[in-house]
């Protein structure tokens, strides 16, 4: 990992302005989180940008996350009077709750309009860090692929208005991250899920940390996926990754393990949930 992850691509500053400029015509902001990092995957700047606008939180990619921890995070947010809806754009789980929950947040306004004989077109703006599934959620709500999605951050470039079923309009926005990361652990979690491009990270160091985490939180999944025979409980992340590389036959001349190849493989397999349903952070309850 670079010593201090300090960066802010120009398009993210532009997106911030895009969100701010469109906010006044929006009824509800839908903030999309990745269920595998329901805390680290929130951009703290959204509080400044969105301010008092009604906001709905959805935790997408629940199909990839650890169900038990998803429930813990829902409870953690509930204790803070925040409702989070777990959804999956892949399986369709929870999608039908999104619009009704958003309407509920502005019910009084909808009712006032109805009294005046006006039907209100609900205007929603999707925001979130890169790669969480903002465009996928729009496609799901529309029932068709109307906006481009992709398994890397930075797919959506400009803004895009899309209408659904005549009674709602959706605005897609590109993902944005905070300008800098004070907390390296948080930056790593973003990278594990693919919210930060691998190119700006040291993937080997990233995979070492991931192996440390999996050893403590998901040892059975790790052992079974890579058929590890040794006792990994006292091992360091890099030792575990070396073992994994050896099991997979990633050996270079001289019998050394190609840890870079092993690192990329483990990260890919984590992202595809091949190691298991893994959530990368656990809430702390007071």
Ligand X SMILES: Nc1nc2c(ncn2[C@@H]2O[C@H](COP(=O)(O)OP(=O)(O)OP(=O)(O)O)[C@@H](O)[C@H]2O)c(=O)[nH]1
Q: Which residues bind ligand X (CB under 6 A)?
A: 60-61, 63-64, 88-90, 128, 130-136, 149-151, 153-156, 174-175
* 207 phi and psi angles, rounded to 5 deg: -70, -35
Closest of 124, 122, 109, 127 to residue 48, by C-alpha? 127
The encoded tokens of residue 32 equal 């999309």
Q: Judged by CB under 5 A, which stretch of 86-94, 147-155, 188-196, 244-252 contacts Mg ion?
A: 147-155
Cβ(245)–Cβ(258) under 8 Å? yes
The single-letter DSSP state of residue 24 is G
Residue 131 interaction partner, one of Mg ion, ligand X, none, beta carbon < 5-8 Å per kind: ligand X
Nearest residue to the partner ligand X, using Cβ: 175
Residue 155 interacts with Mg ion (CB under 5 A)? yes
Which window, 107-115, 134-142, 198-206, 244-252, contacts Mg ion (CB under 5 A)?
134-142
Q: How far is the CB of 166 from ligand X (least distance, A)?
A: 24
CA pair distance 237, 274, nearest whole angstrom? 19
Give the range of 107-115, 132-140, 206-214, 249-257 binding Mg ion by CB under 5 A: 132-140
Between 28 and 126, name the residue whose CB sits nearer to ligand X: 126
The pairing of strands 160-164 and 251-252 is: unpaired
- The DSSP 8-state label assigned to residue 199 in this structure reads G
Binding site for Mg ion (CB under 5 A): 134-135, 155-156
């Amino acid at each position: 990992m670079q010593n201090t992850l300090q960066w802010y691509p120009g398009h993210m500053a532009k997106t911030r302005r895009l969100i701010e400029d469109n906010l006044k015509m929006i009824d509800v902001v839908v903030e999309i989180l990745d269920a595998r990092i329901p805390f680290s995957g929130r951009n703290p700047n959204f509080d400044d940008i969105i301010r008092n606008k009604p906001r709905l939180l959805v935790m997408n990619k629940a199909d990839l996350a650890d169900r038990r921890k998803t429930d813990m995070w829902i409870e953690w947010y509930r204790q803070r009077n925040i409702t989070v809806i777990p959804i999956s754009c892949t399986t369709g789980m929870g999608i039908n709750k999104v619009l009704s929950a958003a309407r509920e947040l502005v019910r009084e306004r909808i009712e006032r309009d109805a009294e005046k004989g006006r039907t209100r077109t609900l205007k929603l703006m999707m925001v979130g860090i890169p790669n969480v599934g903002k465009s996928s959620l729009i496609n799901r709500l529309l029932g068709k692929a109307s906006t481009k999605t992709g398994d890397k951050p930075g797919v959506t470039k400009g803004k895009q208005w899309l209408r659904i079923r005549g009674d709602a309009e959706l605005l897609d926005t590109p993902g944005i991250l905070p300008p800098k990361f004070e907390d390296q652990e948080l930056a790593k979690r973003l990278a594990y899920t693919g919210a930060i491009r691998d190119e700006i990270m040291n993937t080997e160091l990233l995979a070492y940390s991931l192996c440390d985490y999996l050893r403590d939180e998901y040892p059975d999944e790790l052992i079974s996926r890579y058929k590890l025979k040794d006792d990994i409980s006292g091992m360091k992340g890099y030792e575990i990754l070396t073992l994994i590389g050896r099991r997979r036959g990633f050996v270079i001349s001289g019998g050394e393990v190609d840890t870079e190849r092993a690192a990329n493989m483990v990260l890919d397999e984590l992202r595809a949930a091949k190691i298991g349903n893994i959530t990368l952070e656990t809430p702390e309850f007071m």
